[in-house]
Amino acid sequence: MRRSAKLQLLFVCSTLIACGDSERRISAPVVTDPAVQRIVTLSPHLAELVFAVGAGELLAGVSAYTDYPAAAADLPVIGDAFNVDQERLTLLEPDLLLAWDSGTPAHVVDDLRTRGFRIEVIATAGLVDVPLALRQIGRLTGHEQDADRVASVFEHDVEVLAANALGTSSISVFYQVDARPLYTINGDHYVSELISLCGGNNIFADLDGLAPLVSVEAVLERDPEVIMASSDAVPDAFVEWDRWIDLAANRYQNRFLMPANEIGRATPRLLVAAGAVCKALASSRENREARMND
């Protein structure tokens, strides 16, 4: 499960780099259709969003790596983002396919539409997109009230986290997506939004591309006070940094693993990830202050 979340985080980064907005914004206006009875999702997090709005009973098939909630993991798998088993998909007789704006390749969407499938494209690039996606799926499935309730809770809790971080001192953060090669995130990525929400400062927010490749030297030069990685990065996620004893994050002992499944998918569970980021940054400030007072 952890591997799938990391793959999804890397995939959204690489796909958005490869595809411009003009190619990705391929969704049609949302039309509520009470006749929709069978849905197939083309990304793991979309299945989770369907369940989140209370429409899980409509889900007939899912994509590879779908593992949450447990009921979704037991459904037929129709392939992954790049390869859809057309025969299996046809046998499921879906009324609606849900595609991922920044993950399902445009040619896959176009091909499925040509074959007569109805597709709605769901955008989940930033924090603001999560409640929008919930409400969109709610309208499509006739679960508007449940979707609005879940979306409103998400929006409220994000506001609370932001309010709690007001007045805290800024602290610089390096988020490590992968160590070999060394990938990070720029300021447009929703994980960077989580860091900012909690009063942190992504040291590579200024770079181009959602998931820029960086060098060890660049990290050392920007000298982050905190290093974060997802918990699927194996126990030695930070071992490469052990030799740089003067790195601020090492001096302050500020290296933290974030929950992989929650931070890897743009769903309501991002609130769990946000809480973990805020808690880590609060501890980081305490560690920094204690070290500076020694």
- We report the CATH number of the domain holding residue 223 as 3.40.50.1980
Residue pointed to by tokens 């399902």: 104
| β-strand pairing of 96-100 with 59-61 | unpaired
Residues 128 and 22 in one domain: yes
pLDDT of residue 36: 84
Residues of the chain with pLDDT under 70: 1-35, 233-235
Give the separation between CA 18 and CA 273, rounded to whole angstroms.
27
If one counts every other C-beta atom within 10 angstroms of the C-beta of residue 101, the result is: 24
Pull the structure tokens for residue 187: 């300021």
Q: Which residues of 129-141 are buried (b: 16+ CB within 10 A; e: fewer)?
A: bbbebbbbbbbbb
**Tally of structural domains, the chain:** 2
Question: Which residues does 236 contact at the CB level (< 8 Å), separation at least 6?
Answer: none
Give the separation between CA 129 and CA 267, rounded to whole angstroms.
9
Q: Which of 196, 229, 268 is CA-nearest to residue 10?
A: 229
pLDDT of residue 102: 78
pLDDT of residue 233: 60
Give the separation between CA 256 and CA 259, rounded to whole angstroms.
10
Give the separation between CA 39 and CA 130, rounded to whole angstroms.
19
Domain limits for position 221:
168-292
Give the separation between CA 108 and CA 106, rounded to whole angstroms.
5
Residue 159 domain-assigned?
no
Residues 186 and 264 in one domain: yes
The radius of gyration computed from the CA coordinates of the chain, to the nearest angstrom, equals 20
Q: Which of 293, 129, 163, 291 is CA-nearest to residue 225?
A: 291
Residues 13 and 137 in one domain: yes
Give the separation between CA 115 and CA 181, rounded to whole angstroms.
39
Residues 21 and 110 in one domain: yes
Cis omega (within 30 of 0) for bond into 224? no
pLDDT of residue 28: 44
pLDDT of residue 24: 42
Residues 37 and 137 in one domain: yes
Per-residue pLDDT reduced to its tens digit, 72-92: 999 999 998 788 999 999 999
Which of 112, 144, 176 terminates a domain? The answer is: 144
Backbone φ, ψ for residue 9 (5° rounding): -65, -45
- pTM for this prediction: 0.83
Give the separation between CA 131 and CA 65, rounded to whole angstroms.
23
Residues 6 and 82 in one domain: yes
Residue pointed to by tokens 């070999």: 180
Give the separation between CA 137 and CA 152, rounded to whole angstroms.
14
Residue 151 domain-assigned?
no
Residue pointed to by tokens 């037929």: 76
pLDDT of residue 196: 96
Pull the structure tokens for residue 153: 């809770």
Residue 154 domain-assigned?
no
Pull the structure tokens for residue 209: 């591309």
